Amino acid sequence: MISIQGLRKSFGRTEVLKGIDLEVARREVVCVIGPSGSGKSTLLRCVNRLEEPSAGRIEVDGVVVTDPKVDLDRVRTTMGMVFQSFNLFPHKTAEGNVALALRTVLRRDKENARARAREMLARVGLAGRESAYPAQLSGGQQQRVAIARALAMGPHVMLFDEVTSALDPELVGEVLAVMRDLAEQGMTMVVVTHEMGFAREVADRVVFMDGGVVVELGSPGEVLGAPKEPRTRAFLSKLL
C-alpha cells in the first residue's frame, strides 16, 4: 500500500530524514516510535506531501506521490491524516466539521454530506453529539471528530501523528479505542506514537527512528520486547 524509497528531507542545512526505506502492506498497522526530533512527523508529512521531500520516491496505493505531475488533491482524498492538534473549526458543529470537506472537495450535496457525517460520527462513538461545537466537547471527543472527518473521505490509508499527546491521560483510551477498531476492520495505518501499550497490542510492525534514520524494524515482540540495537534499548529504558 505504501512504498518509501530513499526518502530524504532537509530544512535548510539540517537533514531531518536521511534515506528512509519503508514498505507498508495493505491492511497493515505500522507504529513509528522514537525520541522527539527523530523525523517521525516529517516522515508522515512527506507521505502526503504536506512537506516536500528533498529526494526519494513515495508510492501510495499504486500512485507515485512524488511525481511532479501527480494530482495532489485527488491523492490526498485517499489518505486520511489526523494531527496532534484537532484543527477543528470552532464556529462549526461536529457534523459541520465532518461534512465540510465532503461538500467542498467531493462535491456531495448537503443531505448526502450530512448523512455521511452522522454515519462517521457514530462510527467513532459520537452519535448524539452531532450538534455540539468543539468548545462543548472534551479533547478526546474533539480528536474523535477529527478522525471522523478523515474517515468520511473514504481513505485507503490513515496517518496518525501523535494524536493522543495533547490529551489528558484519562482521555487517551477513548481515542486509542477508535484506532484499535479501525485496525480490526482492516484499515492500513501508519501511527506515530509514544503509546507503547498500543503499539505492542495493535501494531503488526514497529519502526524505531532516531536521527533521521530507521534504526530498527520488526514485530512488536522483537522491537519492544527484545530490541537488538543499543539505541532502541536506551530509548525504551527511559520510557520504562
- pLDDT for 181 equals 93
Residues 6+ apart with CB under 8 A from 94: 121, 126, 129, 130, 131, 132, 133, 134, 137, 145, 148
Residue 102 CB contacts under 8 Å (≥ 6 apart), including other chains: 108, 112, 113, 116, 117, 152, 153
- Strands, E, within 124-228: which ranges? 157-161, 188-192, 205-210, 213-218
14-26: pLDDT as tens digits: 999 999 999 999 9
Q: What is the pLDDT of residue 105?
A: 81
For position 46, what pLDDT does the model report?
96
Question: What pLDDT, on the 0 to 100 scale, is given for residue 54?
Answer: 97
Mean pLDDT of 84-95: 92
Residue 50 has pLDDT above 90, yes or no: yes
pTM above 0.75, yes or no: yes
Which sign does the torsion angle of CA 27, 28, 33, 37 carry?
Answer: negative
Per-residue confidence (pLDDT) for residue 28, from 0 to 100 = 97
CB 163 within 8 A of CB 150: no
- Give me the chain's average pLDDT, please: 93
Task: Return d(Cα 177, Cα 164) in angstroms, integer.
Answer: 11
> Quick one: which of 234, 228, 179 has its CA closest to 30?
179
Cα gap 7→17, rounded to integer Å: 7
pLDDT at 137 over 90: yes
Q: Taking 90 as the threshold, does the pLDDT of residue 157 lie above it?
A: yes
Set of cell numbers at residue 88:
477543528
Residue 85 has pLDDT above 90, yes or no: no
Instruction: Give the per-residue pLDDT at 62.
Output: 93
Query: Where is 201: in which H helix or E strand?
Result: helix 196-202
What is the structure's pLDDT at 102? Answer: 87
**Cβ atoms of residues 51 and 28 within 8 Å:** no
How many CB atoms are closer than 10 A to CB 164?
A: 24
Report, in this order, helix, strand and coil percent for the chain, each rounded to 5.
Answer: 40, 25, 35
CB 44 within 8 A of CB 190: yes
Helix (H, G, I), strand (E, B) or coil at 73: helix
Residue-wise pLDDT for 174-199, tens only, equals 999 999 999 999 999 999 999 999 99
pLDDT attached to residue 179: 93
Which pLDDT belongs to residue 196?
Answer: 92
pLDDT at 169 over 90: no
pLDDT at 80: 93
